[in-house]
Chain A
């Protein structure tokens, strides 16, 4: 547009002095900025005394930020180490990671919880993390399944939990209609189940992406698009986050209209634990054939102001004390093998005999293409 002629005329008018003055002003602005920048971050993270460090844990929106035993554990950690932990909820995993990529090197917090195996390579490529693996793992004082550690060969981040992303269904809803719940991917495209499934946007949500990967695993690189068109014709609903899908659209947990939702193999025990009135069986079921293995990571954000405190927090996140809270708060399995699972979890969580999974290098190479194609196809 007319940009060039305008600034051209301007420069001409003010002659040679112009550029020097411009640089001077830009520098002044820059200096003022640096000065006040520190004030701002101080204000935001509430460091009030010099003796207490403060770290901000950036996490997804189904991570509780107060009033649970998980938060109690974090408070204990804070008291013992003189490090206050603030929780910053940054949306569902996909959104959180996008923000992390755009703010890489100047992050919104110090530690990030919850990047999953399907997106990990994006975080690594965008240099979101400052490579760090919890010291106990490096020392070998904690046992972690080697297949999890294989996902971070260069120690970019620490595997903190795992689980399975599976389609869940409302048992009563199907019982009332004398309809057998579906048992396979193919069933989901059956007109008998039309308009009964809500999934998450693969671009913004980690279970959404995991479910997409599961369909790619089932139907192959050439066949999944066709499957999704059929799913679309069968009235699949897409929302942005797991929270929204599960707590707002799902018949059982959200009082919504949709009796099937992409969630976790470990969602049924949650429904037992939170049931009002108490119950001794799970109200929701899992379609095991649809399960995709998900491993979540925690890492130190590159550019953190408090790298030491951040590392100490990551060490804590893999410790027995914190890991034993995961099952009943986040409904995932701890990666720390020394931790015992609560009884409800053992009783009601579904662990599929074989979880689907895809080669990490394939995911890394194709992920953005898949998300793009999926978006065209399903949201188009």
Chain B
């Protein structure tokens, strides 16, 4: 057999596996022990507020999900079925919205909405919908674009109007994709954190926010741990249900190999496409425009003061805010550099191991995905309460934050790389072997060279994730080590106009950087592995 030697597989897998065990599995166990040990279970479950928080978390997620699906279906249909000028730009814009950091999204809505709507649940729901539109458009749209158009034509020849075709044929057929999209949106909104921290009133708390509040403000570590596990239980249950539901509604349909898009015909069709595309553009673009505009706004008119004078604002002689936007930007860049370096190295090793190692490879793959299923706050919290005693008291270590970011970014690097490596034709390796190359030589010559491009894409993605990461960072960062998202949240939490404008400046910078990185990702991603979300 042309199998790679065992020592090589072990050498590849050992780093990623060890990192996963030390920085994810161990904190997770600590968290579970903390939760079970304490009398906290009784206290937490017996407290009315726990159930109120759970109820709010659930209902806002349900409402956000339903609204996102309902609002997203029209653009999903139009973008999947029609070709028109600006279509690519619109799809790109929606994708950009989705990859923006949560705090930036919150900041954009704060900038957009009138004061009367700021810090209300409406603001939160609105941000959730706009944020997640891309999920519906891409997940549902990709199926919708490939549905056999003749099936809809068949319904029409049987007397079904356009509306009847949509409700009786198309929607039932895209239902598995709708279920998938709804699950993703629900997961994101159920664990919503950055958006709520920025846009929610002090009493607006998801479980995620409550975990942070109990851990960092009330010092109720046990209670926070119980809530984190409660949330995890809900998430796991939901993912399981979604799998079942998708299998149950799966239809054997012959999908079109290429999405059937055409230019709109007739006045009516043109109007529908125009209105839907226009409305989508307005919904997606205005928050970003508002963000930029507000960074120039002062009570006395337009000014670039917040941009040129970006720094710790003085409130009174000698008294300044605790957070320095310039330092925060610097900290973010340093963190992102390290997080990217770690994620790229670990991700490359893991990808090679996963592709080469069969069953154990799949186990490693699954293991590295776990941090994604766990919420970011839970990861940060677990690390915070695990690495707090000698010899592993790493709370003051500069690398703890980048390691947390890398934990969240590695799955994306791995997914990007594995997809490409798996598509390498095995015939090539075999050909190399027949030319006399040992399995290791053949592997080095035929597999490894394909790693660099997806790795570059994965690296850019990791950098974007690190720059925008808020959940884990809000528990792990220390005074003076604030990152851009942390600074944005703190500045926008203030009412002084200078501070607010500085918050919007930082959010604009972060948004621009993220978009640039995503463009880099798209560049480096070869077409067959183009994925719908980072």
Chain A residues within 8 Å of B, Cβ to Cβ: 1-3, 6-7, 9-10, 13-14, 17, 21-22, 25-26, 29-30, 33-34, 36-37, 40-41, 44, 58, 61-68, 70-71, 88-91, 94-95, 98-99, 101-103, 105-106, 108-109, 122, 126, 201, 203-204, 238-240, 243-244, 247-249, 254, 256, 274, 329, 368, 371-372, 375-376, 378-380
Contact = CB atoms under 8 A, between A and B. Distances in A.
A61 B494 CA distance: 13
A98 B494 contact: no
Nearest to B385: A102
Q: Is the interface of A mostly helix, strand, loop or mixed?
A: helix
B49 A380 contact: yes
Contact of A91 (B49, B322, B384): B322
A1 B317 contact: no
Contact of A10 (B47, B367, B395, B397): B367
Of A9, A33, A240, A379, the most chain B CB neighbours within 10 A belong to A33
A68 B320 CA distance: 12
B496 interface: yes
B367 A7 contact: yes
A14 B317 CA distance: 63
A256 B495 contact: yes
B318 A64 contact: yes
Contacts of A26: 18, 21-22
Nearest to B390: A105
7 contacts: A2-B366, A6-B367, A10-B17, A44-B480, A247-B316, A368-B218, A380-B203
Contacts of B496: 247-248, 254
A379 B204 CA distance: 8
A247 B316 CA distance: 9
B212 to A, nearest CB: 11
A101 to B, nearest CB: 5
Contacts of A71: 318
A40 B397 CA distance: 7
Nearest to A88: B479
Contacts of B395: 102-103, 106
A284 B363 CA distance: 67
A199 to B, nearest CB: 12
Interface of B: 10, 14-15, 17-18, 21-22, 25, 28, 47-49, 52, 201-203, 213, 215-220, 232, 236, 315-322, 359-360, 363-364, 366-367, 370, 373, 384, 388-389, 391-399, 478-480, 493-496
A102 B317 CA distance: 31
A61 B312 CA distance: 12
A10 B18 contact: no
A329 B319 CA distance: 10
A14 B397 contact: no
Nearest to B214: A372
Contacts of A380: 49, 52, 203
Given A6-B367, A106-B393, A375-B203, 5 more contacts: A6-B366, A61-B322, A65-B318, A70-B318, A108-B480
Nearest to A103: B395
Contacts of B366: 2, 6
Contacts of B22: 22, 25-26, 29
B218 A371 contact: yes
Contact of B17 (A22, A65, A108, A371): A22
A348 to B, nearest CB: 17
